[in-house]
Amino acid sequence: MIRHIEVRTGTYHDSVTLMQVSQAVQGEDGVGAALVAMATQLNLDLLAGMGFEPPSAGPNDLVVGITADDDAALGRALVRLEAALSAGGSGGGSEGGGFDAAPPRSVGSAARRDGATVAFVSTPGPYAFVDAMDALQHGLQVVVFSDNVPVEQEVRLKREAAERGLLVMGPDCGTAVVGGVGFGFANVVRPGPVGVVAASGTGAQQLLALIDGAGVGISHCLGVGGRDLSAEVGGASTLAALDLLADDDATEVVVVVSKPPAPEVADAVRERTEKLGKPVVLALLGPGRPDLTAVAETVVTTAGAEWAPPRSWPSTAPGAGPYPFVRGLYAGGTLCDEAMLLVSAEFGPVRSNIPLAPAWALEPDLRADGHTMIDFGDDTLTRGRPHPMIDNSLRIERLLAEARDPSCGVVLLDVVLGHGAHPDPAGELAPAIVRARNVAGSRGRDLAVVVALIGTDADPQRLDDQARALRDAGASVQLSNAAAAREAVALVRDGADG
From 275, 302, 329, the end of a domain falls on: 302
User: What's the total number of domains in the chain?
Assistant: 3
Q: Where residue 424 sits, what CATH number does that domain have? A: 3.40.50.261
Dihedral angle computed from the Cα positions of residues 250, 256, 257 and 260, in that order, rounded to the nearest 10 degrees: 170
30 and 158 belong to one structural domain? no
Residues 135-139, mean pLDDT to the nearest whole number = 94
Q: How far is CA 186 from CA 206, 225, 290, 482, in A?
A: 11, 14, 24, 20
Q: Which strand (E) or helix (H) includes residue 195?
A: strand 191-199
The Cα–Cα gap between 118 and 167 comes to: 10
The Cα–Cα gap between 381 and 332 comes to: 12
Residue 102's pLDDT is 61
Residue 94's pLDDT is 35
Q: Is residue 156 part of a domain?
A: yes
- Bridge partners (DSSP) of residue 359 are none
Angle, helix 202-213 to helix 333-347, in steps of 10 degrees: 90
Confidence class for position 400, pLDDT limits 50, 70, 90:
very high
49 and 168 belong to one structural domain? no
136 and 252 belong to one structural domain? yes
Q: Is residue 307 part of a domain?
A: no
Secondary structure class of 112 (helix, strand, coil): helix
424 CB neighbour count, 10 Å cutoff: 16
Residue 98's Cα: distance from chain center in Å?
A: 37
322 and 462 belong to one structural domain? yes
The Cα–Cα gap between 98 and 73 comes to: 34
From 249, 280, 302, the end of a domain falls on: 302
Q: Is residue 181 part of a domain?
A: yes
Extended strands (E) in 353-419: 372-375, 408-416
Residues 299-308, mean pLDDT to the nearest whole number = 97
57 and 134 belong to one structural domain? no
Q: Which of 160, 186, 164 is nearest to 173 (CA)?
A: 186
Secondary structure class of 225 (helix, strand, coil): coil
Instruction: Please give the model's pTM, rounded to 2 decimal places.
Output: 0.84
Residues 6+ apart with CB under 8 A from 457: 212, 213, 463, 464
Q: Is residue 97 part of a domain?
A: no
Residue range of the domain that includes 70: 2-88
- Bridge partners (DSSP) of residue 362 are none
Q: What is the tens place of the pLDDT at every residue in 235-291?
A: 999 999 999 999 999 999 999 999 889 999 999 999 999 999 999 999 999 999 999
Residue 496's pLDDT is 58
Q: Is residue 95 part of a domain?
A: no
- Bridge partners (DSSP) of residue 454 are 416
298 and 346 belong to one structural domain? no
Q: Where residue 48 sits, what CATH number does that domain have? A: 3.30.70
The Cα–Cα gap between 144 and 171 comes to: 5
404 and 277 belong to one structural domain? no
Q: Is residue 101 part of a domain?
A: no
Q: Is residue 94 part of a domain?
A: no
Give 113 or 182, the one with higher predicted confidence: 182
From 282, 302, 322, the end of a domain falls on: 302
Q: What is the share, in percent, of the chain residues with pLDDT greater than 90?
A: 73
134 and 262 belong to one structural domain? yes
Residue 93's pLDDT is 36
Confidence class for position 90, pLDDT limits 50, 70, 90:
very low
Q: How far is CA 92 from CA 59, 109, 142, 144, 184, in A?
A: 17, 13, 21, 21, 21
Mean pLDDT of the chain: 91
CB 146 within 8 A of CB 123: yes
Whether residue 133 has pLDDT greater than 80 = yes
294 and 389 belong to one structural domain? no
The Cα–Cα gap between 46 and 51 comes to: 9
Confidence class for position 97, pLDDT limits 50, 70, 90:
very low
Q: Which of 230, 219, 221, 283 is nearest to 252 (CA)?
A: 219
Give 357 or 20, the one with higher predicted confidence: 357
Residue 103's pLDDT is 65
| Strand 351-352 to 325-330 pairing | unpaired
383 and 445 belong to one structural domain? yes
Residue 404: phi, psi to the nearest 5? -90, -5
Query: Maximum Cα–Cα distance for the chain, whole Å?
Result: 75
126 and 7 belong to one structural domain? no
The Cα–Cα gap between 481 and 182 comes to: 22
Q: Average the pLDDT over each of 39-48, 143-152, 189-198 and give the range with the smallest value.
A: 39-48
Q: Is residue 100 part of a domain?
A: no
477 and 332 belong to one structural domain? yes
CB 47 within 8 A of CB 4: no
Q: Where on the phi/psi map is residue 370: left (φ > 0), alpha (ψ -120 to 50), or beta?
A: left
| Strand 325-330 to 408-416 pairing | parallel
Name the H helices within 348-419. 379-382, 393-403
Give 116 or 7, the one with higher predicted confidence: 7
